[in-house]
Amino acid sequence: MNLSIQLIDNDNPTNSASYPFPIDVEALQEAVQYTAIGPGTMTEPIAIDDFITSVKNKLPQIGFNTTVKASFELLEGDEGSNATPMVCCKVQNIGRTNPDFKNWEKVFDCDGQYVRNAPDGTLYVTPQEISGFQSYCEIRTLKQSADSPKSVYILYSVLFKLIIDDAEGNHMTCYCEFDPLAKISSNV
């Protein structure tokens, strides 16, 4: 199973990029069964960065007027996938040059029903359902304007659930989180 981050150029959709992040579900299951990796709850999800098998991607640059879409790609043999819908995605500013930046409405289209701005400056994106077990989170950057920031460095967290067997073979729901970094910039 891949977690896919797509960057769709709204001006030229054929010039879009997709970043697949393959999840090693077997290694994750082994870690849940035999280690104290963490509770895998919604408040303390399991960080799956160590279970991404091949991350060869450099820091993705997100341009203005771009749609960012996070979803799961089912691979051959994943027909009975244990992936359940995403819980949410969140966007946090991690830049050093403007650490207090919270004016997301200068960067993202925050008017949609799936985007919420929290008091701490975190932007939450709720998922849109494709089917009973597949969903995606999507947010769009605005067209660049005079008051757009030059660059914003973000942590784009994807929170989702997986059904994993414990050591006794019982199904358990584990919440997992993947935190790719990205840069929103006009010079893409």
Q: Decide: helix, strand or coil at residue 44.
A: coil
What is the CB-side half-sphere exposure of residue 118 using CA atoms within 13 A? Answer: 12
Alpha-carbon distance values, 97 to 42, 101, 187 (Å): 31, 9, 17
Query: Rounded to an integer, what distance in angstroms lies between the CA atom of residue 167 and that of residue 162?
Result: 16
Q: What is the pLDDT of residues 39-79, one digit of tens each?
A: 799 999 999 988 987 655 566 788 899 999 998 876 655 55
- pTM for the full predicted model: 0.84
Q: What is the pLDDT of residues 127-141, one digit of tens each?
A: 988 766 678 999 999
